[in-house]
Amino acid sequence: MSEGSAALSSSTVLPGDGADWTPPSWDDVVREHADRVYRLAYRLTGNPHDAEDLTQETFVRVFRSLASYKPGTFEGWLHRITTNLFLDMVRRRSRIRMEALPEDTDRLPGSGPEPEKVFSDTHLDPKLQAALDELPPEFRAAVVLCDVEGLSYEEIGATLGVKLGTVRSRIHRGRAALRSALERRRAEVEEVRA
């Protein structure tokens, strides 16, 4: 592993003054963080095309802003950039395309982690993904960062640039909306069966 990519592990803090640190290469950053950024982007956007665009835009923004990076975890910085770009994208568009991943997505060959790990990291139940896609973007971002990415409320607040109370409210309201949507879908299925 090169010095640059070692400096970008999720628990390492980059030096603030940059005196003896040289920025990592594009390849180092992308190799280490592309999968995680794509998973977050997919959960936020709900379709692979927008997730790919958001992932690419995130890495472009990272390299434009690397010189102004402030000490903290690099991974948290990536979450913040990805989430902010997603919210900007939602504001620019009147409607986001939401598509499910094709059923054979987990069968694509790869040199990465085991298929079971990839599946568990990238695949939510289709009903849950559809309910998640119905949430307003601010609620969706908070719920995904908390329940899918595993960030603490404090980390979510820093990522979204909102107060802790706002994070709690968005997660609570987002979860309530998810629960309601899932119950509604279950009732529809039970009606069809009856």
Q: Which domains does the chain have, with CATH numbers?
A: 1-123 (1.10.1740.10), 124-194 (1.10.10.10)
Contact 140, 132 (CB under 8 A): yes
Q: State mean pLDDT over 112-136.
A: 73
Which of helix, strand or coil describes residue 20? coil
Cα–Cα dist 189/194, whole Å: 9
pLDDT at 7: 43
Residue linked to tokens 């995680």: 36
pLDDT-based confidence at residue 92 (cuts at 50, 70, 90): confident
pLDDT at 173: 96
CA distances from 118 to 8, 53, 83 (A): 22, 20, 22
Contact 8, 32 (CB under 8 A): yes
Q: Global pTM? A: 0.57
The one-letter amino acid at 48 = P
> Taking all residues of the chain, what is their mean pLDDT, rounded to a whole number?
79
What are the beta bridge partners of residue 73? Answer: 13
Specify burial of residue 91 (Cβ count, 10 A radius: 0-12, 13-18, 19+). exposed
Residue with the bigger pLDDT between 22 and 92: it is 92
Residue linked to tokens 């085991």: 114
